[in-house]
């Protein structure tokens, strides 16, 4: 499921009937290094909590817990990971990498260059930019971009995607923003971010500077 679908966050119960939840958490972390991962467990012992946090978990919640507290922790992790909110500029434009869509004036820019799009293309691009890194089926794109009353066929999405690529991609360099996911649909892929310096490395760097 993690390889085939878009997942925002994972909650793991460490005491699973047929699987080792701890090992599963490690496997998920290897597969999806940036995916927020929360452990929900009946084990409150400090050693296990610390091992889980160091090995793979972003947070650890001990049973029994308040559902409101769990939701607050989930929202906090999503906010920090950048998945709960869409990047917007000061003027309210949607921003994905070098791509910017002004929602008030409905125009698209790549850097400082404005790109001419039709209303249908703009609506489709907006749907993709509102859901960065998420795979959307053709039916979902039609509903999000053009509404339930749209009378066209699914092939219309493919044609419109091709036109968007021709107009946008030449100005965006090597990164392929609009990607086809075979058997599923399309997604707007954000450029990879530079990996932050590990916490330990930051501490060592600060010690070196102080010396």
> With a threshold of 0.75, does the pTM exceed it?
no
* Average pLDDT of span 47-62: 90
Tens digit of pLDDT for each residue in 103-133? 778 889 887 889 899 999 999 999 898 888 8
> What's the confidence (pLDDT) of residue 40?
92
Compute the distance between CA of residue 48 and CA of residue 66 in angstroms, rounded to an integer.
Answer: 21
Compute the distance between CA of residue 40 and CA of residue 59 in angstroms, rounded to an integer.
Answer: 9
> What's the confidence (pLDDT) of residue 199?
40
Q: Are the C-beta atoms of 164 and 123 separated by less than 8 Å?
A: no
Which CATH architecture fits 10-81? 3-Layer(aba) Sandwich (3.40)
> What's the confidence (pLDDT) of residue 118?
92
Consecutive H or E run containing 100: strand 99-102
Give percent of the chain with pLDDT exceeding 70. 82
Mean pLDDT score of the chain? 80
**30 or 62, greater pLDDT:** 62
pLDDT surpassing 90 at residue 76:
no
Contacts of 9 (CB under 8 A, 6+ apart): 35, 36, 37, 38, 74, 77, 78, 81, 83
> What's the confidence (pLDDT) of residue 202?
40
Tens digit of pLDDT for each residue in 129-150? 888 888 888 988 998 889 878 8
CATH class for the region spanning 118-188: mainly alpha
> What's the confidence (pLDDT) of residue 87?
65
In the chain, domain spans: 10-81, 118-188
Consecutive H or E run containing 37: strand 37-41
């Amino acid at each position: 499921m993690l390889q085939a679908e878009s997942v925002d966050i994972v909650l793991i119960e460490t005491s699973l009937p047929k699987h080792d939840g701890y090992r599963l958490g490690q496997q998920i972390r290897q597969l999806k290094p940036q995916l927020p991962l929360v452990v929900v467990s009946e084990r409150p012992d400090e050693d296990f909590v610390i091992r889980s946090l160091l090995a793979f978990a972003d947070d650890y919640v001990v049973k029994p817990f308040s559902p409101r507290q769990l939701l607050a922790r989930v929202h906090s992790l999503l906010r920090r990971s950048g998945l709960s909110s869409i990047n917007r500029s000061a003027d309210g434009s949607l921003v994905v990498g070098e791509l910017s869509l002004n929602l008030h004036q409905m125009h698209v820019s790549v850097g400082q260059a404005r790109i001419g799009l039709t209303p249908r293309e703009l609506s489709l691009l907006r749907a993709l930019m509102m859901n960065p890194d998420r795979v959307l089926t053709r039916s979902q794109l039609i509903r999000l971009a053009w509404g339930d009353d749209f009378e066209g066929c699914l092939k219309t999405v493919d044609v419109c995607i091709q036109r968007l690529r021709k107009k946008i991609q030449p100005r965006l360099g090597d990164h392929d923003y609009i990607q086809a996911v075979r058997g599923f649909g399309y997604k707007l892929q954000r450029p990879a971010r530079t990996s932050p310096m590990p916490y330990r490395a930051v501490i060592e760097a600060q010690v070196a500077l102080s010396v």
